[in-house]
Structure 1
Amino acid sequence: MTEMPEPLPPHEVGALARTVLDAVGTVVVGKRDPLELVLAGILAGGHVLLEDLPGLGKTLTARSFAQALGLDFRRLQFTPDLLPADVTGSFLYDQSRHDFTFRAGPIFTNLLLADEINRTPPKTQAALLEAMQEKQVSVEGVTYRLDAPFHVLATANPIEYEGTYPLPEAQLDRFLLRVSFGYPSHEEEWEVLRRRIHRRREEAVIEPVVDAETLLRMQAGLERVVVEDSIGRYIVALAAATREHPSVLVGASPRGSLALLLLSRARAALAGRDYVVPEDVKEVAIPALTHRITLRPEMWLRRVDPAFVVTEVLAATPAPASGAMPSYAGAGGHAS
């Protein structure tokens, strides 16, 4: 799509997003907060890394969001023998035309589930990286653009390292945020079973709430969510503080502060506001920054978690006055 979509007002973006979450919540039980983060990542135009143990709903989440958002969905199982051409596509010889024709790979979709991304070699990971960053793929010197919207939801198992290829820091940095679901409570797990008994089949189908064009308009609408100067400086201060923390070898890059900006705008829209408050930034800080931090080697021996570093940084960095209207919001005011 070459022309810019007409932006939706932020309060409409929030209303539609909450309806999408309600629809996904009919299938994915009791995970409202992580689901909000995943949707915030999609609304912000980014890619999401779902890092959790097997069987906790990562694949179901991706498929449910694709259905609720009306997006074309592909699932690609990453394995040690997967080649870049298996992701991007390749040229095949057409005998009838006596020429090579391009056969598009599974990456030509709106929402790609990259299952167990850390099980494939770096060369194949790099092919995915170009698509994530540049929204295009290159095959034998020919570049193909990917149609918008394009999002990658990648899954990784955080505890099983045998036969895996850990994602390098540069590739982790391309994910807007990292989300974990965790085990459900007893009541939530029983609700999963109860719903499965009730529907009498394995697959759960969600009717589309929006379509791809509406999602693009929702994403464009986030640009109208105002970020006051003091909030912007607070975001920069948080990212900078991760670089100066004594436990950190490499802190969050400016891409980390940009992720905070984009995700906090999405959180504000989800809350029905057209301006960002410090609480929006605080709620997305851990998922947006922890995977961008490299700890000193001795910290791994002490089992220090990057999330602990971000928590300390949040506690030590003074936040601007909460709830203040943006000084340059103009006549727009805030959404009712």
Structure 2
Amino acid sequence: MKVEDIMTADPIVMEAEDTTLTDAMSKMRDSGIHQVPLVKNRKYSGMVYYRDILRRRSLQMKSKIGNFAVMTPYLNKGMDVLEAVKILRDSGLFALPVIDREKIVGILSETDLVAHIRDITKADSVNNISIMSTEPITVQEDEDLESATEKVRGLNESEIPVVDKNGKLKGLLRVEEYTLNMILAEKQKMAKGDLVGNREKVEVKCGSVMGNPVMSTETASILDSAEKLIKNHTRIIPIVDEHEKVVGIVGISDIIDIINTGEEKEGILVEISGLDSWDDDLYDVAFFLADKFVSKLPKNGKISHGSLRIHVAKYKTEGNVKYSIRTRLSTDHYHLNVNNFGWNFGRALSEVFDAYEERMRKLAVK
């Protein structure tokens, strides 16, 4: 299968130097497209992802969209899909442009891959329970939208499940879509000036703006989750038990992780989310410990490739910061989750990697 067989052809393209941020965000909202390639002098000049824009604390709406461009690798339409999956994984992005003779002819996104997952790899025998993230982060119906927005910023996702006090799924909150509408509405009221995200508290409850619940079960095939992701235009599917209590999350990336690209080189993609841009010391600690752990994987489990996701949430208690760490290791042999928390970030993360090694030793014995 080739890239041209599944890509989104003839995508919306914007002029990097002629399009304002306001116009760009309006077009993305109206079209439902969350990533757009930019051109300068008719040549590709980068991608813009509205999720990245909305994560900024301050936005100058009159800025040119080219200021928000991300330079990316690009694909060609005749490339094998599995080769494209390798490039997409290595980039850490969720969509890449397809270029032919310097002209943008399409976009290949994670959504395109999930829509064709049945044709790309054998997925019917894989159940949700084998790939889902456990101990999911949720919001309560009466929780403030501002709190939910902060949780989604750290999760690096677009949606979050809304539950009642018993943990039963009540809906799915598309935080970024709602935030985008607020930004554009505010822009219409302002003749000029900056929009700063933290100056005014949004007095909106999650239950009042959530959408209908979308769900699957632990024993259902991931094809069920894939179908619902595409049908409902979401990036996550809550996994529920017999009482519709949320027990896990299956995301687009979780499904894509099962694709075996036949890579022979050893390599584990490490992704860290939840930290702020100024947390350089914590990033250094996380990557150092992750590299030390990953270097042992081929010897311990004969692992050639995969991904290690680390999500960090920080909570202030009595003037001190406590760290909640959620991780997922997806490889050609394992799909494992380990979570931990503690006052010392390095120690808590080290304990996570120790737990992984212990679990893999036990699995190897069986």
Q: TM-score, normalised by structure 1?
A: 0.30
Between 1 and 2, higher relative CO (CA 8 Å, sep ≥ 6) is seen in 1
Q: TM-score, normalised by structure 2?
A: 0.28
Q: Which has the higher strand share?
A: 2
Q: Which has the higher helix share?
A: 1
